[in-house]
Amino acid sequence: MRVTIDQDKCVGSGQCVLAAPDVFDQRDEDGIVVLLDPEPPRDLDQDVRRSAMVCPALAIQLTD
């Protein structure tokens, strides 16, 4: 699975970091999303899907 993020849309809720901390992080200054791993290992699939689902800004796009 391939992950892309949209930092302009992101509102810094941190929900993705809670769901998949190995894939997403936040910028120190304003909490905006930082992508740590654009192609996370398969065992994180469920966590990453959940991140995309709970993101309030729909700032996470997934492609298989």
Residues 5-64 that bind another protein (CB under 8 A): 9, 11-15, 17-19, 21, 25-32, 50, 53-54, 56-58
**# residues contacting another protein (CB under 8 A):** 24
* CB nearer to another protein: pick between 1 and 14: 14
Q: What angle do CA 15, 16, 21 make, to 5 degrees?
A: 115
Cα 26 from Cα 33, distance rounded (Å): 4
Q: Smallest distance, Å, CB 60 to another protein?
A: 12
Buried b (16+ CB within 10 A) or exposed e, 34-57: eeeeeebeeebeebbebbbeebee
Which residue ranges make up the site for another protein (CB under 8 A)? 9, 11-15, 17-19, 21, 25-32, 50, 53-54, 56-58
